[in-house]
Amino acid sequence: MTEQILPLHGIRVIEFSHMVMGPTCGLVLGDLGAEVIKIEPLKGDNTRRLKGSGAGFFAAFNRNKKSIAIDLHQSEGLEIAKKLIAKADIVSHNFKPSTMHKLGLDYESLSTINQKLIYVSHQGFLPGPYEHRTALDEVVQMMGGLAYMTGRPGDPLRAGSSVNDIMGGMFGSIGAMAALLQRAVTGKGQKVQSALFENNVFLVAQHMLQFAVTGVPAAPMPARVSAWGIYDVFTVKNNEQVFLAVVSETQWAVFCDAFGISELKTHPSYNTNNQRVQNRDTLLPKLQQIFLQMTAGEISEKFESHGLPFAPITKPEDLFNDPHLNASGGLREIALPDADSGGEKVKVPLLPFTMGGHRPSVRQSPPQLGEHTNELLASLGYCGEDIETLRTERVVG
């Protein structure tokens, strides 16, 4: 997909963000063609230096962006930021509203210099009794029912990804794009808010409605009564594991024929899916004995050849070599931005949809700190001497 036909080509986004939620919003807008300008402090976004489980945050969520390093606590630096915003379509941030207000970068202040501005604020909570609280993905997973549903009874467990941060950023980008469409009609910008807690509640809505419909509280996923007789991770030969599912009567008949267990196909205890659910305590041990004689590969091949649902138990690092992702173009190379990485090339997943048969792709690797400072200052009319003075005075980096 070329830049000329990307849907957000010509849209300028100014991003004040760190960690995952705000950067995800910018990632989506950038992948779709917007010019995303990431304003960083002189020392850089702290996310660049995270270790442990945060080591991949910056590289994962900051492609297709430009970086300008500015000291916003100096009047000259704040002036540069406001000049960029005056020519922007969208401002996106995930800092505390009080921080933005102190800098004069709140919506009310910025809308006076740019009435068409769309201002996306990513927060822990939407306005209400909780809005003063400090939130993290794990905080809202605990208070929003997701950790309860993910863990075993009595053992709440966060999901294995920053699901609320990522989806919260996605909803922020959806709000921004909706506001762009509305602006085309009204000529005016507006404030858009996205929040971790409300995002989490949206994720568990199915379990809330399950209770509303049945009157029975949803059990944590590991302890739930499955809707299907076979919908489990099985340990097979050589202690390998594989997820297998049989979710219809047609699939049950195909499954039994494929594994040569026609006696179970017509067994009165397993005739229908509901009977198989009710008699899982006798059915699953029978199947387990069959699967223990076969490797995960042999079982997977049989399931695939018969059109039955299955999945290997895959670690994240294994996905770099996934044949489907590589053959379909679902991974693209970027150069790592860290100074000590030497520009090492790695693959990243693209947005999970196509437009006209193409995936929105990587036009630019995650930027080095201040990589585009000179370019952007020049676009605002600063000459080379001005820029050098600003650098010497530590206004920009």
Please name the residue that has the structure tokens 């996310």.
47
- What pLDDT was estimated at residue 3? 44
Beta carbons of 234 and 244 less than 8 angstroms apart: yes
Please name the residue that has the structure tokens 């922007």.
88
Question: Which residue numbers in the chain have pLDDT < 70?
Answer: 1-4, 339-342
Ordered by where they begin, the domains of the chain are 3-204+322-392 (3.40.50.10540), 226-312 (3.30.1540.10)
Beta carbons of 153 and 159 less than 8 angstroms apart: no
Per-position DSSP letters for 301-327, written without gaps between them: HHHHHTT--EEE---GGGGGG-HHHHH
- What pLDDT was estimated at residue 249? 95
pLDDT tens digits for range 228-262: 999 999 999 999 999 999 999 999 999 999 999 99
- What pLDDT was estimated at residue 5? 83
What amino acid occupies position 214? Answer: T
- What pLDDT was estimated at residue 341? 64
CA 114, CA 81: separation in Å to the nearest integer? Answer: 13
- What pLDDT was estimated at residue 385? 97
- Those residues whose C-beta lies under 8 Å from the C-beta of residue 56, and which sit 6 or more positions away, are none
Any bridge partners for residue 66, and if so which? 37
- Of the candidates 208, 225, 226, 229, the one whose C-alpha atom is nearest the C-alpha of residue 217 is 208
CA 295, CA 281: separation in Å to the nearest integer? Answer: 23
pLDDT tens digits for range 322-348: 999 999 999 999 999 875 566 899 999
Structure token digits, residue 156: 């709440």
- Of the candidates 235, 184, 268, 132, the one whose C-alpha atom is nearest the C-alpha of residue 10 is 184
